[in-house]
Structure 1
Amino acid sequence: MANVSVAAEWQLLYNRYYRKPELYRMRWKHIDLSRNKVACAPFGGPIAIIRDDSKIVQLHSESALRKLRIFNSAGVQLSETVWKNPGGRLIGMSWTDDQTLACIVQDGTVYRYNIHAEPLEPNISMGKECFEQNVVDCVFWGNGVVCITESNQLFCIPDFKNPKPCKLADPGIEELPFCMAVIEPQYTMSGNVEVLLGVGEAFVVAVEEDGVQQLGAEVLRGPLQKMAVSRDGQWLASFTHDGRLLVMTSDLQKVIMEQECESALPPEQLSWCGMDTVLLYWDDMLLMMGPRGDPVRYLYDEPIILIPECDGVRILSNSSMEFLQRVPDSTESIFKIGSTSPAALLYDALDHFDRRSAKADENLRLIRSSLPEAVESCIDAAGHEFDVLRQRTLLRAASYGQAFCSNFQRDRIQEMCKILRVLNAVRSHEIGISLSIQQYKLLTPSVLVGRLINAHQHLLALRISEYLGMNQEVVIMHWSCSKITASLAIPDAILLEILLDKLKLCKGISYAAVAAHADKNGRRKLAAMLVEHEPRSSKQVPLLLSIGEEDTALMKATESGDTDLVYLVLFHIWQKRQPLEFFGMIQPRNLARDLFVAYARCYKHEFLKDYFLSNGQLQEVAFLLWKESWELGKNPMASKGSPLHGPRIKLIEKAQNLFSETKEHTFESKAAEEHAKLLRIQHELEVTTKQAIFVDSSISDTIRTCIVLGNHRAAMKVKTEFKVSEKRWYWLKVFALATIRDWDALEKFSKEKRPPIGYRPFVEACIDADEKGEALKYIPKLADPRERAESYARIGMVKEAADAASQAKDGELLGRLKLTFSQNAAASSIFDTLRDRLSFQGVS
């Protein structure tokens, strides 16, 4: 009997059954759809209603103020706002994919509202040209709109998320079209929206951004009065001028179906029901037509609105919300009158089992080989049901059958139970989202949770997220931000406790993001308290800076040890605070201080000097000044007697003064003093000699250069000024004179007095200059016979070297000298003889 009662509600269209269960009795009062403009969102979404100002209506007890009211699918009011009627008459409104209500008015302005009837900024304009022409009609799709003006020009916004209005090609028509439809960009070859216009001819004008073409001249016998494009953009259903329903391909090349309708008057609404049938609605009759068979009629004594869905059509009337859909195959196989399918027998077996009848066992034996298929059909049919009791019975039947299946996937029933629990929860009157299972799968659970959040149904969203094992962070974040916005009267400390109680449910949640929202709402103290709980410094520190908590930000950044974060805080405070205040903040924090000093050493010397002076670190300032003097010396202009040497010397003198104020830096003070003195002398030398070869050379090099240039007086002055020792002076002068090959001066210098360095440097200088004759002047004066022997050997004088070596009585020396003259056999034998004699003397 149950099977009969279920199938009795169905209607047969050719060989397909259709059903129209009532989803809700509408909760609203005194709503007449015929007097209002109505926009219904797909996927069981909200309903927006506003009095139609194009109709003259009696107000009864209503207020004269027009209100935009938003209801859920069950007629429970969610929100309302006064419609200010800006920009002229309301031409059309629709819900976008993200459940934003878009309302287009006469001057081409699009006003947008969220589900709480709160206006969203900014308003979108269709452009200046559209504004001047007046909009008369529009067609919405997913996230866009096309409108037509009094001048028959088309304007389009392809995507409200990136609202760039564009004008489509001129359709070249004189009269307003009878009807208008849109093929969405995702289904066109060009990827741009295509607008179909039913004009007063036997063809349709297809308009795109870059062109216009005429379609259907071969297949149409007159103008079209109404058009509807299928969900996938492939088919066009249309109502002709002579009362026929025509279904064609969307390029109007091929007719798929043509049927006479019962009325030549164009229907008020034309809609696809899934992909199977087309619905036509006149003021008292809804006609459902398929490819074959007689149409199905539904009579209504009140106005209705058709809301196309992916798997059917929702039908909204003043009193109810219904859902017209094709009966799913699994449901048909179980409940069709006289069905003997395995699923029907399994469903029947459960009924017998409940009544303790032996027929249950008989049914199971009949379908044993098809039992898994029967179980699957029962599970699938349960998913398609809106009636909870019927869902339960079908799942019990599946569970009963599964007990006798060895190879059936055990988690299928559990999975379906989960889906149905979610669907039943959101279908309740209070929530009013009447999703079918197909719509739910197409929408996805995460989008459903997002919609619940936006409707402020946070508790249900949280429970569904938890139940389905989804991330709850999105829900808790949105709830926290909404709570802050709505709780202006609650003190910060109490609100913080309320927020923390929920925020701690989700590990890794961004406290900083909630704190940012609190700050945006003018609750800086709450924001500071919240950000304390953020474990990630990278999120915490920037927010502390944005809410003016610089001290805390610096402390947190240094504690984290992240140098990038510390620098972020340093630069922020540096710009905001006075220098002394800034220095005071960084001084006690080693990491911040060291990073500042490291940066300032490279880029901000003056600022760093101020910092060191403020801390009494005079020696650090002195080192900086000294470094600056060297940097100045690298300047290519600091040569040829450049005036830049003056500032360099002053910098070094300043450094010397600062060093002299600290007892620990006596050496540095003296060094700086002598450096300045040397630079001054070198600068004078460059000016007088007009040669840029002195500055930044050493004292020794300066003396040597003076001697080479013949400026002996200047060399002597440098010697005296810097107390150069006699030994060093002699070394420098000997080699400088040898460099300029002034052998007379060298000889004269050697005779001034006995050289404190001996005569060896004179010999070395002459030999290095390859002047053997000059070297012979000094070799005999060498006191040490070893040195004499080696020097003679270096200039190739064998006999003299041998004589000197025999005086030294050094066997090792004789060996070395033999190696020196290894190419000369005679010389080698001399040194061998001498070594033999020396060893003989040693033995005797």
Structure 2
Amino acid sequence: MSLHPSLSWELIDTVFYRSRPCYESLNWPFDNFNLKDYMVSIGPFASIYALYPKSAVVNLQLTDVNDCITVLNGSGMEIFRINWNFTLNQIVKVGFTRDSKLIMVLKTGICRLYYNYQGDFNEYDLKLGTIKDARFSLNGDFAVQTHSNKFAYIPNIQDPSPVIFQQLETEDVEPYHITTWTFTASKGPSETAATHGEFQDSVRFFIFTTTGISILTSTSTEPILLNHAFLQSVHLVSISPNQNFTALYAANSIYILDGEFNDLLIQHENVSNVSDLRWCSNDVVVYTCNNSLNVLGPTLETLKFYTSGTPYLHAEIDGLYYLTNDGLNFFSRVPNITEETFKIGSSSPSSVLLDSIEYLDRRSPKANDLLEVIMDDLVLAVDGCIRAASEEFDVYWQKNLLRAAAFGKVNLDLYDSTEFVQTCNYLRILNIIRAPDKGIFMTYNQLQEFGIEKLIDVLLLRQLHYLCLKICDFLDLPNFKIMTDWASCKLKYSTNSSDDELLSLIVTKLEKEKIDWTSLSYVAHNEGRTTLAKNFLTYEPSTSKKVRFLLDVGDGNYDELEYALTISDEDSDADSILLILLQLHGTLTNVEFFKIINDKPSAIGVLKSYFYQFDDTMLENFMFQDDDIIGQILLENNMAKKTVLMNRSKYTQFLQSPTNNFNKVEQVQLDLRNTFANIVAGEPIIKTLEKIIVVDLKKAQNVASKLNVTSRQFAMCVLQTLAPIAAKHPELYDFANSKHGKVLKFETYFRELLKRGEKRQAGLYLKSCKDMASREKIKAYIQCGMWKEAERYGYSNTNERFENWLGI
């Protein structure tokens, strides 16, 4: 029988915490292994580690330092190795994306993303010069510090477009020394922002120097400087997940401050040799020193766990993993429902229901007696046992709690079993992936937050296709992604098999499955199996996908294009035919072009229907050669009509003017690029003005005048640009009261700010809103939370009592 869960609980103030082993022994693939001799990076859920020797970093002055980076699973079993020359490619930091892909940041400003565990990678140039340091967040985004003390945030390294980043410069801090730094990006980039390379105001950098702290945001042009005595020697910093608190290690003390660094809440003195400092959720601070893990509570009460060597920490949403030479452990707060269920002497409904199972196993009638006691709270008891089961790592207690829930559920007439079924399913999956050969020790809460589909992606990285199929069958999920990945792996790594053998094997297994055969064609083509790639196309039902593949890999090859046109013509896919004809039209002579479409009726129909828009002369020649008299007449008639319409239309008289205007706009934008690097020539005028308004409003007014933007258009652009930026609200208010801003009514400013939730700022404009009816203005004051102003205005401007109007 397993030990009672409460035996491992430790009390800090009035809250219980516990440290539980994930893997009590690790399968390190090294002889005489000691974790302190390695640089260690821990990935999501402590399910993957990257290790490389510290000696390889220390001995960089040697002419040639060759070693390897070893990637292991959570139980210490090797996944793959990367041979590395640490002299030629100096590593700044190793981290992981949220889906466990390895990221390497190199000193040269190059960033590598290993998208599988066979050593294949994509490389990106951050274009920031020499990198000095980097920090990774829990979500896989990261930030870097350059040797010139500039800071940049990279939200998503997997974006195939050039890496998007926001560069933030500090003031010249020399001869002062940057002691440490960190960043927060809680909300991440929005979809729109990510598209344009911009970020929300949530990205902040905290740079600690020997003179204090500088706080940088993505919208501020000057750093916010704070200076306290203890801020001048900070060596470690950790910000709580909700960003309400900050923990600092400085001058042999640990300080807990509020999120804005204004109020010192706790000071824990006489702490030395601290090697790491992290928050465990938002509850307590955990720090490591002298072969121990230490926990600091909100009233300076502490816990100490002795470890074999100094542990390495990795924080997650519901707790904190710590890795030592001997094992992997998980430290977390004991949830309230677990405390109620297992606390000695507890009389909660879930605890009583769990006790009833013990009597049920003995076939004692007392089981029914206990059930009668909690009958009024039986739903709470069942829910409590289900949630307590999800928190336990020990299978014995999982089963007992779920049996108790099932026993209670049977005695309820109406009970929604969805949560019970999901908990059983998820725990079964968790117990499988927690096995040492899988090495993914996730908690139930982490799995819920991460999602089953993303878990399958992680398992596919490790090529555990059979397990993924079993999970999909178990949860009734589609499996086409797994089948496609399995087939792709077969193509990549079955080097000794012929094309016919691979085709037979894959088709036999997958012919009845709904998979993307075109993706297999791409893989086969990349592996040099061009014949096999075309054979896979015969199983692809989508003509447009076939054509897209042939155009991508054909590189203008005549045979490939003719084959693509043939299959498009057979399926009468007009869009694909038009795409191919346009590509052929630019590469073939008229004779060759007419020959290739001669026996393809669908292609001829598309040519006659659409090609008058592109090349009416060529179309006329084709109709003449084809003896299509009616087509020639229609074409001539169509051109005659267009000529008459053009001559009659007043708009054609001014075609030269818009062209000249466009050239003028483009020239102004090119001139502005010397000052504003993010301006793109040819972009809409309003977009250009928005970028300038944020930085220099007066400059934007001059540019608007040059580009003939009306005063009203410019004022509306200023309003819509500055309204979302809190730091720019005073500037917006000054503009609204200027002659340029008064072309818009104050009501317009009020409504725009109120729409964006800026009630206090919107209220500033109400005094100047002269065109509002009295009742509308009172309502506006109330919407802004300005009750006193609403009452004062109501008494002075309405004939009836204000209370009656409000319905009081």
Pairwise same-fold verdict (TM > 0.5): yes
What is the 5 A alignment of 1:137-156? 137-141=133-137, 142-148=139-145, 152-156=149-153
Normalising by structure 1, we get a TM-score of 0.66
Match of 2:176, as an amino acid?
Answer: E
CA contact (8 A) 1:247 1:255 kept: yes
2:24 is the counterpart of 1:28: no
Partner secondary structure for residue 302 of structure 1 = coil
Larger radius of gyration: 1
Q: How many residues align?
A: 615
Partner of 2:403: 396
Structure 1 residues 247 and 126, CA gap change in structure 2 (3 angstroms): farther
Partner of 1:45: 47
2:565 is the counterpart of 1:554: yes
Partner secondary structure for residue 299 of structure 2 = coil
Structure 1 residues 500 and 629, CA gap change in structure 2 (3 angstroms): closer
- Alpha-carbon distance, 1:493 to partner: 2.4
Structure 1 residues 333 and 625, CA gap change in structure 2 (3 angstroms): closer
What is the 5 A alignment of 1:139-288? 139-141=135-137, 142-148=139-145, 152-160=149-157, 161=159, 162-164=163-165, 166-170=167-171, 172-184=173-185, 186=187, 191=201, 193-201=203-211, 203-208=212-217, 210-215=221-226, 217=228, 220=230, 223-241=233-251, 243-260=252-269, 263-288=270-295
Instruction: Write out per-residue CA displacement over residues 586-638 of structure 1, whole angstroms, 9 at most, x where no aligned residue.
Output: 3333333444456678845567647865xxx6x669996999899999999xx
Tell me the distance in 2 between the aligned counterparts of 1:361 and 1:600.
84
1:469 to 457, 476, 479: 476
What is the 5 A alignment of 1:665-744? none
Structure 1 residues 542 and 186, CA gap change in structure 2 (3 angstroms): closer
Normalising by structure 2, we get a TM-score of 0.69
Match of 2:181, as an amino acid?
Answer: M
Tell me the distance in 2 between the aligned counterparts of 1:151 and 1:564.
52
Instruction: Write out per-residue CA displacement over residues 371-413 of structure 1, whole angstroms, 9 at most, x where no aligned residue.
Output: 2111111111111112222211211111112122223323332
Structure 1 residues 296 and 187, CA gap change in structure 2 (3 angstroms): farther
CA contact (8 A) 2:209 2:233 kept: yes
CA contact (8 A) 2:110 2:123 kept: no
- Considering only aligned residues, what root-mean-square deviation do their CA atoms show, in Å? 3.5
- Alpha-carbon distance, 1:246 to partner: 1.9
Partner secondary structure for residue 83 of structure 1 = strand
Partner of 2:533: 527
2:343 is the counterpart of 1:331: no
CA contact (8 A) 1:14 1:293 kept: no
Partner of 2:4: 5
Partner secondary structure for residue 116 of structure 1 = coil
- Alpha-carbon distance, 1:38 to partner: 0.9
What is the 5 A alignment of 1:411-450? 411-450=418-457
CA contact (8 A) 1:152 1:174 kept: no
CA contact (8 A) 1:343 1:373 kept: yes
Structure 1 residues 247 and 577, CA gap change in structure 2 (3 angstroms): same
Q: Which moved more, 1:306-315 or 1:224-233?
A: 224-233
- Alpha-carbon distance, 1:297 to partner: 0.6
Structure 1 residues 597 and 74, CA gap change in structure 2 (3 angstroms): same
CA contact (8 A) 1:171 1:212 kept: no
Structure 1 residues 153 and 266, CA gap change in structure 2 (3 angstroms): farther
Instruction: Write out per-residue CA displacement over residues 739-762 of structure 1, whole angstroms, 9 at most, x where no aligned residue.
Output: xxxxxxxxxxxxxxxxxxxxxxxx
Structure 1 residues 550 and 329, CA gap change in structure 2 (3 angstroms): same
Structure 1 residues 374 and 293, CA gap change in structure 2 (3 angstroms): farther
Match of 1:7, as an amino acid?
Answer: S
CA contact (8 A) 2:308 2:325 kept: no
Structure 1 residues 515 and 401, CA gap change in structure 2 (3 angstroms): same
Partner of 1:518: 524
- Alpha-carbon distance, 1:35 to partner: 0.9
Structure 1 residues 351 and 85, CA gap change in structure 2 (3 angstroms): same
CA contact (8 A) 2:183 2:205 kept: yes
Match of 1:8, as an amino acid?
Answer: L
2:93 is the counterpart of 1:92: yes
Tell me the distance in 1 between the aligned counterparts of 2:387 and 2:567.
56
Gap runs ≥5 in structure 1: 58-62, 637-844
CA contact (8 A) 2:99 2:457 kept: no
Partner secondary structure for residue 70 of structure 1 = strand
- Alpha-carbon distance, 1:92 to partner: 2.3
Tell me the distance in 2 between the aligned counterparts of 1:468 and 1:622.
62
Match of 2:485, as an amino acid?
Answer: H
Partner of 2:776: none
Structure 1 residues 630 and 525, CA gap change in structure 2 (3 angstroms): closer
Gap runs ≥5 in structure 2: 190-198, 645-808
Tell me the distance in 2 between the aligned counterparts of 1:584 and 1:605.
17
Tell me the distance in 2 between the aligned counterparts of 1:274 and 1:40.
17
Partner of 1:643: none
Tell me the distance in 2 between the aligned counterparts of 1:406 and 1:512.
52
Instruction: Write out per-residue CA displacement over residues 764-797 of structure 1, whole angstroms, 9 at most, x where no aligned residue.
Output: xxxxxxxxxxxxxxxxxxxxxxxxxxxxxxxxxx
What is the 5 A alignment of 1:369-384? 369-384=376-391
Structure 1 residues 213 and 165, CA gap change in structure 2 (3 angstroms): closer
Tell me the distance in 1 between the aligned counterparts of 2:591 and 2:392.
75
- Alpha-carbon distance, 1:45 to partner: 3.4
CA contact (8 A) 1:91 1:104 kept: yes
CA contact (8 A) 1:93 1:101 kept: yes
